[in-house]
Amino acid sequence: MYVVAQHKIVNPETALPRGQALIDGTGAPDGTRVVQFYPHVEGSAVTCLWEAESVEDVQRYVDKTLGDSSVNVCYEVDSEKAFADRPLGLRASSAPVS
């Protein structure tokens, strides 16, 4: 399934270095990986698309990793209605596929 995680960054100095672990997949539950990463230009918010077994896996992982540096809301994507196309000007992910 696909899961969106919306992060309201409370403490950018802490959240951004911790967030690198999410991008790298450090400590991610089996079958959980970030596939898209959209940071706000000012660093106050980030939206990510995840591939995971459950919303709860992503919610626990991002909450544990980011701690009190971010408020995180996760939800399942309605794959029947969703669509995607890689926007021009965005690079491909360098994150490992698990």
What are the domain boundaries of the chain? 2-76
> How far is Cα 10 from Cα 13, in angstroms, rounded to an integer?
9
- Reported as a single tens digit per residue, the pLDDT across 42-94 is 989 999 999 999 999 999 999 999 999 999 999 999 989 988 777 667 677 66
Q: What is the topology classification, in CATH, of domain 2-76?
A: Alpha-Beta Plaits (3.30.70)
Crossing angle of helices 12-24 and 55-66, rounded to 10°: 130
| Alpha carbon distance, N-terminus to C-terminus of the chain | 15
Residue 98 binned pLDDT confidence (cut-offs 50, 70, 90): low
